[in-house]
Each structure stands twice: as C-alpha cells, then as structure tokens.
C-alpha cells in the first residue's frame, strides 16, 4: 500500500492496491480488486469496482460508476477487466464498464482522455488516447475510438462501430456506421459531412497534409465506380502519404458495420 490520503467516510476494501499520492474523498467506495496508480484522485461519492485499474493522475468526479457489472444480459460474472490510462478526467455521473466473454474480456481507455458529465463507455470498447466525450455521449459495447477523436454532446454510437482517429462526431448525432479517420459526421442518422478540418488545424497538420486529405476524400466518395475501386485508386495515387494511407487501411480492414458515407455517395 502506498502513502495516500482517504476521508474517514471512504470505504477501501481489503486487497485494493493504492499508489502513492492517491487522494480518496468522502463517501467513495474502492473494491478489493481495484488498482489506483500514483496520484489518482477520487473527489467524492465515486464507486470503483471489479478488476479495474486507473492510471496515474487520473481524476474522477462525484457519482461516477467505474468498473461495475456491464450492461450486458449475457454477462455471467466472468473475470473481465477495465483499464483506464494516465491523466484522464472523468466527470460527474460517468459510467465505464468492463469487458465480457463475448468481447475479449477487456475494456481499455488510453491516456489523457476527457469524459464529460454522464457519458458512458460500454463493455468491450477500446478508446484511444486524447479522446473527448462531451456531456451525455453514449458508446455502446464492442466499439473502438481512435486517438484524438471528439464526440459531441448527446451523440450515440451503435455497438461494434468504429470511430476513426482525429474524427469528429457532431452533437446529438446517432452513428450507426464506421466513421473514417479525420472525418466529420453529423445528423440522425449520422452521415459523413466532410473532414474534421478545424481539428486538423488545431493539432498542427500542415496545409499540404490537409490539401492531400481533401483530394483523397473527394476521390474516395466520388460518384464514379464502386468504393472498392475508388479505394484502390486512391491508395495508388497517395502511396507514401501516411494520413491518407491511414484512411485506406481503416476502410480495407473493415468491421461489422458499413462505412459512414456522404448523403449523395453512391456506396460500394
């Protein structure tokens, strides 16, 4: 056990691993298989359960429920886990669920993520680094979210969907298909509405990179040919361009959902 501080009203069950510098506030409950790394702070009324590990310096705000039984009716108490990275901010009422047998037994969340009030990460999800969930975002089970993705307030993502790196999902959108890296999707049901240009500019992508992405985007979602044919053409034209190749790889790997496309796209 490390050198930590805990309010007298906090309940820390035997077996919990508490790192140095951890602060546990009033009325928090920490389960027997929980690991809190160095500098973690539970402000108050936080409940951390299950086989859950919280990375260094992550702060969790009141009434968050972290690592409790997933909302999957097939769950039978299997030894699944939840892993949260370093320097995350988990605001009021957030729920993060562990994995299940049907999804690889693990839910993982990267470093420097922000989960705003009442957002939810379902079982067997894999969230990258530097991801932002605005208030009331709902991520169903078995989803993946790439690095630097931003999900706007009230957005909902269907199970098994993929949200690409550096993408933006607009507030109140319902995403039922895969969103390409660097893409922007809006609406209910969400459609691909272009590239996340503002996000790219904020993160220091060059004018040349953005220009190449725009050209590749127009070619990928043109009216001529099938998506498969257009993907092959773009792969040849932009060989050696890493950010375009990232989109090509995302499309080719595929998933259980179709690709989110513009309203006027012809599809595959």
| Residues 163 and 175: beta-carbon distance below 8 Å | yes
Identify whether 3 is a catalytic site residue. Answer: no
- Write out the H or E segment, with its range, that includes residue 40: none
Distance CA 66, CA 47 (A): 6
| Residues 226 and 268: beta-carbon distance below 8 Å | yes
Catalytically annotated residue among 67, 128, 141, 164: 141
Identify whether 123 is a catalytic site residue. Answer: yes
User: Collapsing DSSP states into helix, strand and coil, what is residue 175?
Assistant: strand
196: tokens are 């996340």
Identify whether 124 is a catalytic site residue. Answer: yes
Q: Which of 116, 242, 224 is nearest to 233 (CA)?
A: 224
| Residues 142 and 125: beta-carbon distance below 8 Å | yes
| Residues 38 and 56: beta-carbon distance below 8 Å | yes
Residue 107 pairs in a beta bridge with 82
Catalytically annotated residue among 124, 128, 142, 183: 124
Catalytically annotated residue among 50, 72, 123, 164: 123
How many residues in the chain? 268
Q: Which residues are catalytic?
A: 123-124, 141
């Amino acid at each position: 056990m490390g050198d930590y501080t805990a309010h007298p009203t906090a309940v820390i069950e035997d077996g919990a691993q508490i790192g140095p510098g951890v602060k546990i506030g009033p009325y928090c409950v920490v389960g027997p298989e929980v690991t809190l790394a160095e500098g973690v702070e539970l402000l108050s009324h936080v409940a951390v359960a299950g086989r859950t590990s919280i990375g260094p310096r992550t702060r969790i705000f009141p009434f968050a429920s972290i690592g409790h039984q997933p909302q999957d009716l097939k769950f039978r108490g299997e030894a699944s886990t939840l892993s949260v990275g370093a320097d995350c901010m988990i605001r009021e009422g957030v729920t993060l669920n562990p994995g299940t047998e049907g999804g690889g037994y693990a839910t993982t969340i990267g470093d420097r993520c922000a989960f705003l009030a009442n957002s939810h990460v379902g079982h067997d999800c894999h969230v990258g680094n530097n991801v932002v969930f605005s208030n009331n975002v709902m991520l169903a089970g078995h989803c993946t979210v790439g690095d630097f993705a931003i999900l706007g307030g009230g957005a909902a993502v269907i199970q098994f969907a993929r949200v690409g790196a550096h993408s933006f999902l607009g507030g109140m959108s319902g995403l039922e298909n895969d969103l390409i890296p660097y893409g922007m999707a809006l609406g209910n049901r969400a459609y691909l509405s272009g590239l996340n240009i503002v996000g790219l500019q904020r993160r220091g992508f060059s004018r040349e990179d953005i220009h190449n992405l725009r050209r590749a985007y127009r070619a990928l979602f043109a009216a001529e040919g099938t998506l498969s044919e257009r993907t092959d053409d773009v792969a040849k034209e932009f060989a050696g361009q890493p950010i375009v190749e990232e989109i090509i790889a995302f499309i080719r790997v595929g998933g259980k959902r179709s690709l989110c496309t513009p309203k006027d796209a012809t599809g595959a």
